[in-house]
Amino acid sequence: MTVLQIIQPDNPLLRRPAARVTDFGQGLQTLIDDMHDTMEEAKGFGLAGPQVACSLRIIMARSPEGEVSGESASEDAEKLYVVANPQIIKRSEEKVLGVEGCLSLPGLLGDVERHESIEIAGQDREGRPIRLPASGRLARVFQHEIDHLDGVLYIDIATSVWRPTEEDQAAIAGAAENQ
């Protein structure tokens, strides 16, 4: 298990557009495994390459099973999605306002408007083409992580940003458990 350092906004790499993934060899596989360990250790819902100082277009997101395919999720069942070179190819007209945080911006939360549902295209960890429709929390996480690949942080598009109180943190933890 290798836990990578999650960089903060003072590192200019977090603000640069990431490079396209072209090599799906062992180096990328190790990076993906290390990113997973890092995301799990930090208890995050998603992570992008630039957040661990790797300027590659690679993201991962975890979500209850069923948010992609529409199946009902069993309790505690989660699925990990790894997408290289992701692009949003469809967006719902409907947008929703939701609270977001970021592993690169600890101690802050913000209200961000995102598309309720999207479809992304990209490649899986072996380089095979994939398409993933997503809604709800998973759609929000995908949009947040894809923004990282373009050097955009949620605080750039948030309608408000604040330091959470203990009540805020408890409410968010409860909402996340119910999603």
Cα 118 versus chain centre, distance: 14
Is 71 an active-site residue? no
How far is 142 from 126, CA to CA, in rounded Å?
Answer: 19
**Contact indicator for 52, 14 with CB cutoff of 8 Å:** no
Spatial neighbors of 151 by CB under 8 A, at least 6 apart, are 14, 15, 16, 17, 18, 50
How far is 33 from 30, CA to CA, in rounded Å?
Answer: 5
- Exactly one of 145, 166, 167, 177 is catalytic; name it: 145
Which positions are catalytic? 145
